[in-house]
Amino acid sequence: MTILVLGGNGKTGRRIAERLTAQDLPVRIGSRSGTPAFDWKDRSTWEDALDGVTAVYLSYYPDLSFPGAYDDIKALTDLAVRGGVRRLVLLSGRGEPETQASERAVRESGAEWTVLRCSWFMQNFSEDFLLGPVLDGVIALPAADVPEPFLDVDDIADIAAAALSQEGHTGRLYELTGPRLLTFADVAEELSKATGRKISFVQVTPEEYMADAVGHGVPRDEAEGLTHLFTGILDGRNASLTGDVREALGRPARDFTDYARANVHVWTD
C-alpha cells in the first residue's frame, strides 16, 4: 500500500508524510529531490513516481487555481488510475472557481476520491511568504480587511492522512475552515499579543504588492498568482464557517490563538 505524497516537502505534504510514516505505512515523497523524482513541469517523471503506488495525495504547485493546473491534474489522474492507483485525495481551494475543473477530474477518475477544499492557511504567516512581513512588523497585502476562517495546516494533514489510509472518507468533499472568522487586522493583533511586538496590517495596491513581492525574491508568475488570490478570493466570499473538520476528525478545528502560541518561537527567536 505505497502512498505517494506529492509536494511531500511542503506545508501539507510534509505533515501528511510524517503521520503516515508514524503508522508504519510505506510513503513515497513526490518532489524534484525525491527518489524517484517527481516534477509537475516534467511529465516524463510521473510514471516512475507512480510505479507500485495505490494512493496519491494531490497537491499542485504553485496553486490549483494557476493556469495549466487542470491539464496536469487530468493527465496525472488518468495515468495514476491506469497504473493501479485506487485512491486519490486532492488539496483544493475554497472559493476558487478555477479549481473546480480539477476537482471534477478527480471525482470522475474512477478511483476512490476525497476533496479537501481549504481556507487560507494559518501557516502562511510562519512558514511561507508572509513570514518576512510578520518579522518586519507590517503585513502589507492587496486585500480588503474582510473576515477569513483561517485554517491550521495540521488539521488538513490529519484529515488527509486519514483519507489516504482509512475508510469512511471516500466520496467526500470537505470544506475546511477554522473555528472563527478573523480579519487580517485581527490576525495582526493576535500575532502582536503572542509575540509582544507591534504587528500591523496595511492594505496596499496590487501594483505595490507585486513590486514588493518580486523585490523579496518571489518569482513574477507566482507573485501575479498571489495577487490574483488576494484581490479575487479574499473579498468576503469565504466569510462563513463549516463543521467539516469536526465531522472528519471528531474534534473541533484548531484556533488561531493556539497556533500563534505554538509558533511564537518562529517570530521571536
Helix ranges (H only) for the chain are: 11-22, 46-50, 69-82, 100-107, 124-127, 131-136, 153-165, 184-195, 206-215, 220-232, 244-249, 256-262, 264-268
In a domain, 215, yes or no: no
In a domain, 49, yes or no: yes
Tell me the pLDDT tens digit for each residue of 223-243: 888 888 888 888 899 999 999
In a domain, 10, yes or no: yes
In a domain, 188, yes or no: no
Tell me the pLDDT tens digit for each residue of 4-60: 999 999 999 999 999 999 999 999 999 999 999 999 999 999 999 999 999 999 999
Tell me the pLDDT tens digit for each residue of 113-157: 999 999 999 999 999 889 989 999 999 999 888 999 999 999 999
In a domain, 186, yes or no: no
Tell me the pLDDT tens digit for each residue of 149-205: 999 999 999 999 999 999 999 999 999 999 999 999 999 999 999 999 999 999 999
How far is the C-alpha of 5 from the C-alpha of 17, rounded, in Å?
A: 7
Q: Assess whether pLDDT exceeds 80 at residue 216.
A: no
Tell me the pLDDT tens digit for each residue of 152-165: 999 999 999 999 99
Assign residue 169 the CATH number of its domain: 3.40.50.720
> Per the structure, how many domains does the chain have?
1
| Domain extent at residue 104 | 2-119+153-176+240-253
In a domain, 190, yes or no: no
